[in-house]
Amino acid sequence: MGIGEAAARALAPGGNKLALVARSREKLEKVAAQVEALGGEAHVIVADLANPDDAARVVPEAVAALGGADVLVNNAGVGIASTVASMKMGDMRQLMEVNLFSVVRLMQDVVPVMKQQGGGHIINISSVVSKIALPTAGGYAASKFALNGISDAARVELAADNIRVTTLCPGRVESNFHRNLLGGARRPVGPPPWTPEQVAGAIVAAVKDRPRERVLGFRNRLLVGLQRLSPGLVARVMGRMYNRTIRPALTRDGGA
């Protein structure tokens, strides 16, 4: 289970109407059945958000099916495991297409709908690496740093239209994400992972509370706080970790 499926299940109760977006119709229909069993309604949209044409039809189709758009959750994402020096530009372009450009496109498409309705809420799923980049995750961090910047600007621009923008920053989540990285495989490091259900719970809480931003998990908040107070110390610790564990593995695999 990933964050999207868990979030759909968590948001389903109460008769909520959901538009589910992913590349696999089979998986979407499975989740849609779960949503309906929990009392919600689900509309399936098969789309590859790395394809700009697919991204362009998501919001119009969702609005036509649901009759509006109260909340947009931008959760689609792809990761990359590579040093900056060895990163393939094709992988980086694909990463940015999904993690940043598709998000901007969906935001641009949904904002006029929300303005006409009198308000709405956009929730962008970022990452703790948008606050502190990790070795071999520079490309992914770049996409999430950019997402935070877009979210921060949009939050100010849309406040007068009663459109809230929330950024959620989880750490590692136990899902297929780390098993489907571009650029090769890397053993995840950092605090123990959250479950998709825990992140889904944070999404549900954000729908209710509409916060500006949340870094999820005490250890992640502690790490981000330490980064702000002593970035040099954090860099030295990460440097030792990289040189002792990650770099030797990359050298053996020919990826350093």
| Active-site annotation, residues | 140
Q: What contacts 158, CB < 8 A, 6 or more positions away?
A: 111, 122, 164, 165
At residue 144, what are phi and psi to the nearest 5 degrees? -80, -35
Name the burial class of residue 126, with classes exposed (0-12), middle (13-18) and buried (19+) by CB atoms within 10 angstroms of its CB: buried
Whose structure tokens read 């399936």?
Answer: 44
Spatial CB neighbours of 11, under 8 Å, sequence gap ≥ 6: 18, 40, 200, 203, 204, 207
- The distance from CA 80 to its chain's CA centroid, rounded to whole angstroms, is 14
Neighbours of 187 (CB within 10 A): 10
